[in-house]
Structures are given as structure tokens and as C-alpha cells.
Amino acid sequence: MAAIAEAFRDGGIWMYSILLVSVVALGVTLERFFFLFFKYNMNAQAFMAQIQKLVMADNVDRAIKLCNAAPSRVVPHVIKAGLTRANKGEVEIQNAMEEATLEIVPKVQKRTQALLTIANVATLMGLLGTIVGLIEAFEALETATPENRQRMLSRGIAMAMNTTAFGLIVAIPTMVAHLLLSGVTKKILDDVDMYSVKLENLLVTRGKGGPVE
């Protein structure tokens, strides 16, 4: 712990800047993790199987109530839009679900992409601290008195190395978090696309009085 405190002190003001970036990265990661894993995501396959059974049984009202039971989930939000137009034409069903999809997509994608930018900022701040530290080190070689030269040289190199390390320590986990959250985001949106098309086909077939598979 003492070594970490010393490294932080040697890094100078750049360490505080990178620390601020790390707090932002952690906040965005936790917020996105909560929403994507616990509010928006669900077992869409099992949910859609229930919806299909209810539609096949001509019990659309119960299917809508099933969607209402999970108001924060993304797939039920879009499926409900189609079910409320179940007795309308194909175009109205499609338009309703497209509108619901356009409403929900920005919420699902919000701030996840920003993690890449935050990681880059942390890396660049570490690099800037490195450059400033090396400038101080070279200035020490040129201007410092012999008795102070070694101390100033060590301080400049310490700043350079510590800011680089801290910038990477923040950037790498942030990029990993972005990779993980992007995967979950894609899975949710893929579920929306797939099951909205399946429901559309289901309702259109039902409306034409054909066999529902």
C-alpha cells in the first residue's frame, strides 16, 4: 500500500487526472452492467415460447399481460407493441414493432460505446504524463546542478513510468468491460430483431386463418 501511495505521489498531477477518468469508467461500467444484465436482458427464447402458445390459443390478451409483467425488459416491450395491433393488418403490426424498437435501441446502446473513448483518454493521459516526465528528466540533465541532477532525473523518470502504468491499468479493464457489455448489447438487440419478425409472421398467419406453427 505504501508503494502504491509513493507511485501515485511520484506521478504528479497526471495521476489525479487518470484517477478521475477511472472513477468515470467504473461508474459507467456499473450502470451499464446493472441495466443490461438485470433490467433489459432476459431468456427471450422461453418468453417467446409462452407468447407463441398464447397466440396459438387465440389468447392475445393474456399474452399482453405477460408482457406487462416484465415492463423493463426489452423484448416484451417490442412484442407488446405487435400484440396490441394483433387484429390489424401486417403493415400496422410491423410499424408498431419498428417504432417500439426505435424507442428502445438508444436506451440499450447508451454509454457502452463511451467506454472505448474513456479507455483511450486514460491511455493518452498516461502518455502525456510520460512525455512531461521525460521533459523534466532531460531538463535536469541540462540545467540542474550536479548535486540536484540525480534527484530531478529520478523524479522525471518516476513520473513518466508511473503515469504510463496507471493509464494502462485504467484503460485495459475499461476495454474489457466494453467488450463484455457490447456483447450483451448485441445479444439483446439480436433477440429483438429475431423475435419481432417471428411474432409478425405469427400474427399475420393467424390473421389470415392459416395454420400457426
The answer to whether position 209 is within a domain reads: no
* Domain coverage including residue 123: 8-204
DSSP-derived secondary structure for 120-184: HHHHHHHHHHHHHHHHHHHHHHHHS-HHHHHHHHHHHHHHHHHHHHHHHHHHHHHHHHHHHHHHH
Query: Using an 8 Å Cβ cutoff, are 158 and 133 in contact?
Result: yes
**211, part of any domain:** no
Q: For residue 3, is it within any domain?
A: no
Provide the residue type at 89 as one letter. G
Q: Is residue 92 part of a domain?
A: yes
Q: How many domains does the chain have?
A: 1
* Cell numbers that stand for 128 in this block: 502525456
Q: Which residue's C-alpha cell is 423493463? A: 72
Q: How buried is 112 (Cβ within 10 angstroms: 0-12 exposed, 13-18 middle, 19+ buried)?
A: buried
Q: What is the pLDDT along the chain (213 residues), one digit of tens a residue?
A: 666 667 667 767 888 899 999 999 999 999 999 999 999 999 999 999 999 999 988 899 999 999 999 989 999 999 999 999 988 888 999 999 999 999 999 999 999 999 999 999 999 999 998 888 888 777 776 766 666 667 777 777 888 888 999 999 999 999 999 999 999 999 999 999 999 999 999 988 876 655 444
Q: Which residues have CB under 8 Å from 149's CB, separation 6+?
A: 140, 141
Q: Which of helix, strand or coil describes residue 212?
A: coil
Residue 147 falls inside a structural domain: yes
145 in a structural domain? yes
Position 99 scores a pLDDT of 94
Name the pTM for this structure.
Answer: 0.84
**Is 2 part of a structural domain of the chain?**
no
Q: Tell whether 112 is covered by a domain.
A: yes
pLDDT at 146: 67
